[in-house]
Amino acid sequence: MTLTDLFASTTQMNPQAIALSQAAGPAQPRRTLTYEAADRAIQRTMDHLLDLGLRPGEIVLVSMASTMEAPVAILAALRAGFTPCLVPVTVTLDEAASVVSAVPARAIVTTGAIGPLRPVEVLRAAAASSGGPRFVLAFGERLPAGVIPLDDVLIRSADTGFEPVDAGMPQRPPAVLTVERRAGRILVHRHEQSNLVAASLLTVLRSGMASAEPVLSTLSLMSLAGLVTGLGPCLLTAGTLALEPLFTTASFLASLSAHPRLHVVVPGALEGPLAESGLSASVSIASALLLHRQGVRLDRVPGLPAARFPVVDALAVGERTLLVEARGEDRRPALRLGTIRIPDDIGAIVVAARRHEDGQLDVGGVTVSTRLDENLRSDPEAFVGTGCSVTVDETQRILSVRN
């Protein structure tokens, strides 16, 4: 099962359901795309890439903000059989050059501007200085000369007369690459689509997501965490992915009011503000997933004792994997060392975590990535080191993770 399989299934069964939603700005209606319209946008983006002469298996750099164009670009690359390499829009010129040097990409799909950021200019300059991709495609206005504009794929996506598209996938589905920035190094991770689906299923189960319930994500889709807490769960449940391009309290509250019941995905640092705002008592929130990263002290999080909905903690171990667990009655983070299987007890190991004798965190399971500078693991359930130290209590509850 792949991400493109899941999208195609919902498009066939319910083409008029809302697939993507995006805050458009103060006093402006939200932008939305149905599964039918998104399918057309994906197909047209894919056609642009194929017109460049790219072949299945080749790599396309994708660097997008949290807009509807991001999942369109990712799914277009996958549908065409290309391997998308997801690059954060915040990369510096030096970091972008390192990515271009490490990944033999043939094309770049990005955006013109996000606030003060100009991803198209950064990536184009990196490609020019490193002999990287010749082709640069971008969404947005006022694009530099020589950049292929993509805005027409969304403008024309409202055509009527839906016809299912034959994706023409290769025998082996392409993987997804993500970029980790650590201690001045660029590390590129490979994720098989089936493993992303497994990680997304864990999010669905821990968050209690039901069919067609929307997910409001404030995370970037240019990361493992963004994919398996937002896009993947929505594709599994045939739901709506609501995105926040530039997060503000006002836009977040407006997004909450736009949906009667939704699952929210936010950085763990927002736990305190959520509690102080009174949103922990909101009846509009079906669940809240809090994303933590290395450096977090889980034993010091403020907690959401008044929450009227399930609270789930997710710990991103770089771009290696994601540990996910729902909180218990004490409303404190319940992430522990151990093994998670789906189905419980008898299924494949989705993710496992242990503390090595030197205090380092090791992870294993099918959702653990392989870096491009590593050999593919013959045993997907074997443990690998993360380069992070972990502290736990007597019940193996994780207290902190540090680089």
pLDDT of 241 strictly over 70: yes
Q: Concatenated DSSP letters for 213-263?
A: --EEE-S-SSSHHHIIIIIHHHHHHT--EEE-SS--HHHHHHHHHHSSSEE
pLDDT of 303 strictly over 90: no
Q: How confident is the model at residue 24 (pLDDT cuts 50, 70, 90)?
A: confident
pLDDT of 148 strictly over 50: yes
pLDDT of 13 strictly over 50: yes
What are the tens digits of pLDDT across the range 249-298?
777 777 777 777 899 999 999 888 877 777 777 778 999 999 999 999 99
Q: How confident is the model at residue 30 (pLDDT cuts 50, 70, 90)?
A: confident
pLDDT of 336 strictly over 60: yes
What pLDDT does 25 receive? 66
How are strands ordered across the β-sheet holding 105-111? 148-149, 135-139, 105-111, 59-62, 83-86, 176-182, 185-191, 370-371
d(CA 276, CA 273): 5
What pLDDT does 167 receive? 45
What pLDDT does 180 receive? 96
What pLDDT does 345 receive? 76
Average pLDDT of the segment spanning 31-35: 94
Higher-pLDDT residue of 207 and 348 is: 207
Give 379's DSSP letter. S
Distances from the Cα of 40 to the Cαs of 152, 245, 350, in angstroms?
Answer: 11, 22, 33
Report which of 229, 204, 172, 187 is spatially closest to residue 320, judged by C-alpha positions.
187
Q: How confident is the model at residue 164 (pLDDT cuts 50, 70, 90)?
A: very low
What pLDDT does 156 receive? 63
What are the tens digits of pLDDT across the range 68-111?
999 999 999 999 999 999 999 999 999 999 999 999 999 999 99
Residue with tokens 């799914």: 75
Average pLDDT, the chain: 90
Average pLDDT of the segment spanning 163-172: 53
| pTM of the predicted protein model | 0.94
